[in-house]
């Protein structure tokens, strides 16, 4: 039986699963495949060098799916930040009605999208930030536990606690993000109060993910221990795949006397990380991945993956419901 949650109803999707907005991964190929499979695919705006390029990518995705898809806009600290307003305007002009936002000071961007009647999913790693976003009027919150890949925040609260705190504190419906890759995880997230899940690493390891096959094979071969936390010294903690570059960068960070970011900068270069996905040399640079790698054992199509997760969740929920034993009827 299909799932019906506030997420599926609001977004017009069949399965309450959202593809993470991943840098150098969130292109039209993956977004369209996820949407065609019944989930919500997401194009990552900043994979495109200019707003004009984003427009072309959105138009390309429209040719690949007639289903709803979203665009991610993440506001990151930078000496010369991208023209976020221009990227947002392209999204609005192209008629995209679902946006995932994340990052610092999202108020102006959220206000712009709200004025255009856009459904906003905003990512947070703390309840405090989620409450602030709720006041801004976002439609859904994506609650990222410490298990997530990429930017994990600075509080180290795992989803088993964080999701329950979200259910206690928020009136806005929320999505569970970080550590999800199968139907049992979806069932667990729903039980904890979420209306769906967000998956990043799991979608990297699909047939349609536009990254080198060597990266996908590395994810399948990895365990839950194969991630590294970097940049904690600079309060920009990131969870990355534990390769040679990440291990060396970790040593430099731990042994740094000056505490200057310049010491580690060459190791965490975004250009080197992007090259990993292009060349297939998994040690060429740092790249994001989560400990959910431990449960990933194959490289399916998005359609096969989502159908499997949906079935696993149904079976899991049915199995748990059978644990509830009806009370015996008392005899008068």
Q: 68, 99 in Cβ contact below 8 A?
A: no
- Name the percent of the chain lying above pLDDT 90: 92
Distance between CA atoms of 17 and 41, rounded to whole angstroms? 9
* pTM confidence score: 0.95
Give the pLDDT confidence of 267-287 residue by residue, as tens digits: 999 999 999 999 999 999 999
- Higher pLDDT residue, 332 or 214? 214
| Every domain range in the chain assigned CATH 3.20.20.70 | 6-212+299-321
Of 241, 315, 228, 250, the C-alpha closest to 282 is: 241
Do the Cβ atoms of 48 and 127 come closer than 8 Å? Answer: no
For 152-199, how does the pLDDT look when each residue is reduced to its tens digit (9 = 90+)? 999 999 999 999 999 999 999 999 999 999 999 999 999 999 999 999
**Tens-place pLDDT, residues 70-121:** 999 999 877 789 999 999 999 999 999 999 999 988 999 999 999 999 999 9
The pLDDT of residue 79: 79
The confidence band for 332, taking pLDDT boundaries of 50, 70 and 90, is low
Instruction: Reply yes or no on domain 6-212+299-321 having CATH 3.20.20.70.
Output: yes
Kindly give the pairing relationship between strand 197-199 and strand 227-230: unpaired
Report pLDDT for 242. 98
Task: Name beta bridge partners: 18.
Answer: 40, 198
* Residue 83 CB-density burial (10 A; 0-12 exposed, 13-18 middle, 19+ buried): exposed
pLDDT band at 327 (very low <50, low <70, confident <90, very high): confident
Q: What share of the chain is helix, strand, coil (3-state, %, to 5)?
A: 45, 15, 40
Asked whether the beta carbons of 145 and 157 are under 8 A apart, the reply is: yes
């Amino acid at each position: 039986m299909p799932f019906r949650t506030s997420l599926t109803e609001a977004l017009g999707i069949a399965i309450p699963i959202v593809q993470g907005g991943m840098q150098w991964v969130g292109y039209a190929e993956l977004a369209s495949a996820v949407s065609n499979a019944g989930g919500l695919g997401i194009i990552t705006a900043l994979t495109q060098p200019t707003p004009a390029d984003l427009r072309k990518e959105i138009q390309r995705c429209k040719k690949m799916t007639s289903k709803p898809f979203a665009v991610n806009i993440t506001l990151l600290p930078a000496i010369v930040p991208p023209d976020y307003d221009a990227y947002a305007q392209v999204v609005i002009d192209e008629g995209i009605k679902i946006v995932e936002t994340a990052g610092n000071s999202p108020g102006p961007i959220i206000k712009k999208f709200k004025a255009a009647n856009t459904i906003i999913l905003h990512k947070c790693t703390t309840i405090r930030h989620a409450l602030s976003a709720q006041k801004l009027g976002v439609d859904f919150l994506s609650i990222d536990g410490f298990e997530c890949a990429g930017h994990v925040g600075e509080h180290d609260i795992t989803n088993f606690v964080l999701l329950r705190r979200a259910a206690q504190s928020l009136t806005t419906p929320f999505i569970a993000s970080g550590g999800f890759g199968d139907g049992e995880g979806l069932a667990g997230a729903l039980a904890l109060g979420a209306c769906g899940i967000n998956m990043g690493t799991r979608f990297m390891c699909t047939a349609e993910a536009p990254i080198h096959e060597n990266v996908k094979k590395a994810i399948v071969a990895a365990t839950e221990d194969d991630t590294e936390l970097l940049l904690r010294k600079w309060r920009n903690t990131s969870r990355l795949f534990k390769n040679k570059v990440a291990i060396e960068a970790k040593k430099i960070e731990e042994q740094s006397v000056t505490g200057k970011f310049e010491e580690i900068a060459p190791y965490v270069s975004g250009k080197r990380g992007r090259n990993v996905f292009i060349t297939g040399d998994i040690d060429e640079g740092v790249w994001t991945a989560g400990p959910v790698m431990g449960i990933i054992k194959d490289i399916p199509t998005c359609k096969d993956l989502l159908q499997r997760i949906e079935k696993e969740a149904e079976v899991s929920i049915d199995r748990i419901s059978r644990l509830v034993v009806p009370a015996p009827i008392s005899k008068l």
